[in-house]
Structure 1
Amino acid sequence: MKLIRWTFLCVLLFIACEHKELCYSHPHFVSVRVTFDWSQIYNHEKPSGMRVIFFPKDEKGESWTFDFPDGKDRVIEIPENDYQVVSFNYDTEGIAWWNSERFADFTAGTREASSPEGVLMYTTPSWLCGDDLSDVRLKGIPAGTEVSVPIVPKNRVCRYTYEVNGIRNLSRVTDVRASLSNMASSLLMAGDRLPEELSESLLFGGTLSDKQVKGGFYTFGYCQEGSQPNVFKLYLKNRNGGMYVLEQDVSQQIRGVPVSGHLADVHLVIHLDYDIPDNPGESGAGFEVDVDDWCDVNEDIKL
């Protein structure tokens, strides 16, 4: 009888010890109030919501993602740890997200597109704001303590607009596309910086207005390294199916605008001297290329 009692007591002690070890193996959660300071957004309305991602600084375990509708402050619960944080507006249909597993590699990018000539290009991004924090310490927080993590969203894209003058017979034009070379099609969210040694062409749309072709789009900026020019190309399709391509080097206009990091809003003014032919094959100042269906492009800015 004594042996049975002693065995039962040992089992109880073993279970109690195991329970204590399991308790210590579980993470303790911290109450965090995420706040948003919108003072740096002055040229765009607030987004419909913000996404905040907490990456464990030791890179052990998965990241934690929280959405904040209307960009309003609220309290979240998150395991005790040290984190790196990326935040951005989640109403970004024109942006694809890459390398979402690591803070340092988390990238906002755009999608591949084909120019009317069949050349690989990239679409332009939608408007993007965000913030990044490299050191958020949430270890050793006393129980019952609420920690504040401030987010200050800032613009992460430039605003480019353009006007093209000197094109006659615009009534013969049925569709417009344009491109700009030596630009960036992606952005590293950590540090708000452009990837190195990348130079791509962006494809975007345009509209006909009186005697001008106008357009506007958002972009991460131009590639500041190297000596490649920024070439603006205009693709005009006439009513009989012909397409004509006009181009101009706009490097001086782009690089003449002061840059803050990778950001600078630019307005391009392009002067050409060209008559839109009525029929394919007629002579003109531009050059004619074959064209099938035109791909869709973003039209992000209302002019």
Structure 2
Amino acid sequence: MKTFYGLIFIIIICLLTACEHKELCFVHAHTAELQVIFDWKYAPEAHPASMRLYLFPETGKEPPIYEFGNRTGGKITVPAGRYRALCMNNDTEFIIIRNTDHYESIEAYLADGVFPRPVPRAGSTGGQQVKSTPDMLWSDHIEEVEVVASAEGQTLTLYPKAIVRHYTVEIRNVENLKYLTEGELFGSLTDMSDGFMLGTNQPAEELATLPFDMTSDGKSTVNADFYTFGYPATSTNTQYLTVYAILNDGKKYSFTYDVTEKIHNAPDPANVHILLDGLPLPKPIDNGGGFNPDVDEWSTVEISISM
């Protein structure tokens, strides 16, 4: 009997030891701590409220996503492996991030936009989707990142830079600006990309029309300032800039310029300045009736510009 109980005791000890060994193996999972650093040397003026990081495994599996409530980064725990890394600010209002399963497909996509009122569309762009102009977006990506299990002191540094293009419009020698109805001056730009492929760093191929606000100095100049994702490199479409204005007699006017060459030949594609000369707003006919809210027809004018 003593021998029998001794064998039982030995078996129990062996089982407990085996269980403990498996648990220790589970605790030492194949992960590592990674210090993520967002270095803003290419955009020192940027102060986004939050950042997002995607790590795309080379195995093609769905990427883990990490959120940072600051612009500087922080420590994360990552499964060991090889990745492609991609980051962007996560505080945009008019940009949607979609197709996030793969590095090649992840896209910053523009939210739907609207004109302030129904308007005539330039050229043959009546069926083109209307999108909001993007707010500021910074991004960076790295093709090869290796995370080693249990290794200490591992860091990942990314250098976000502006993805959006800054467009400005200046129209000089504008006539009769003093007759504009307050708040009734806006514009649109056709055949612009409706998104940006973050992994390949290229504007999306789908085209959209972008409405934007315009301002005047009340004398002779009209301006606009907005962001875009640029236009597809393969695009051969004409890009029209249209100015919409309503005068204080209720008359509505749209003026369309072909600005394709001005955009495509801009010295800096990231900072495009569209300078135009002349916007022939007519002087209202004073018939003693004041503002007429029942005037609904738009008078459209195509303006030729010298290059």
Confirm or deny that 1:200 pairs with 2:199.
no
Distance 1:61 1:125, change over 3 A: closer
Q: Which residue of 1 aligns with 2:57?
A: 56
CA distance in 1, matches of 2:90, 2:301: 41
Q: Point out the more displaced range, 178-187 or 47-56.
A: 47-56
Aligned residues: 279
Q: CA deviation at 1:165?
A: 3.0
Please, which runs of 5 or more residues in structure 1 have no aligned partner?
A: 288-303
Matches within 5 A, 1:149-228: 149-174=156-181, 175-196=184-205, 198-210=206-218, 211-228=220-237
Q: CA deviation at 1:17?
A: 4.4
Q: CA deviation at 1:34?
A: 1.5
Letter in 2 for 1:67: F
Confirm or deny that 1:112 pairs with 2:112.
yes
Q: CA deviation at 1:63?
A: 0.9
Please, which runs of 5 or more residues in structure 2 have no aligned partner?
A: 121-125, 285-291, 303-307
Q: CA deviation at 1:35?
A: 1.9
Matches within 5 A, 1:1-303: 10=11, 13=14, 17=18, 20-21=21-22, 24=25, 27-41=29-43, 44-60=45-61, 62-69=63-70, 71-115=71-115, 116-117=118-119, 119=126, 120-139=129-148, 141=149, 143=150, 145-174=152-181, 175-196=184-205, 198-210=206-218, 211-258=220-267, 263-276=269-282, 278=284, 280=295, 286=301
Q: CA deviation at 1:58?
A: 1.5
CA distance in 2, matches of 1:239, 1:3: 107
Letter in 2 for 1:29: T
SS at match of 1:114: coil
Distance 1:182 1:61, change over 3 A: closer
Q: CA deviation at 1:266?
A: 0.7
SS at match of 1:171: helix
Specify the structure having the higher radius of gyration (Cα).
2
Q: Point out the more displaced range, 199-208 or 153-162.
A: 199-208
Do 2:88 and 2:140's aligned partners in 1 also have CA atoms closer than 8 Å?
A: yes
Q: CA deviation at 1:82?
A: 1.8
SS at match of 2:84: strand
Q: Which residue of 2 aligns with 1:301?
A: none
Do 1:36 and 1:72's aligned partners in 2 also have CA atoms closer than 8 Å?
A: yes
Do 1:33 and 1:148's aligned partners in 2 also have CA atoms closer than 8 Å?
A: yes
Q: CA deviation at 1:72?
A: 2.1
Q: Deviations over 1:47-93 (max 9, x none)?
A: 33332222323233551313151x22533222222222111122222
CA distance in 2, matches of 1:188, 1:249: 27
TM-score normalized with structure 1 length = 0.79
Q: CA deviation at 1:28?
A: 2.5
SS at match of 1:254: helix
CA distance in 1, matches of 2:297, 2:54: 57
Do 2:253 and 2:300's aligned partners in 1 also have CA atoms closer than 8 Å?
A: no
Do 1:274 and 1:286's aligned partners in 2 also have CA atoms closer than 8 Å?
A: no
TM-score normalized with structure 2 length = 0.78
Do 1:273 and 1:285's aligned partners in 2 also have CA atoms closer than 8 Å?
A: no
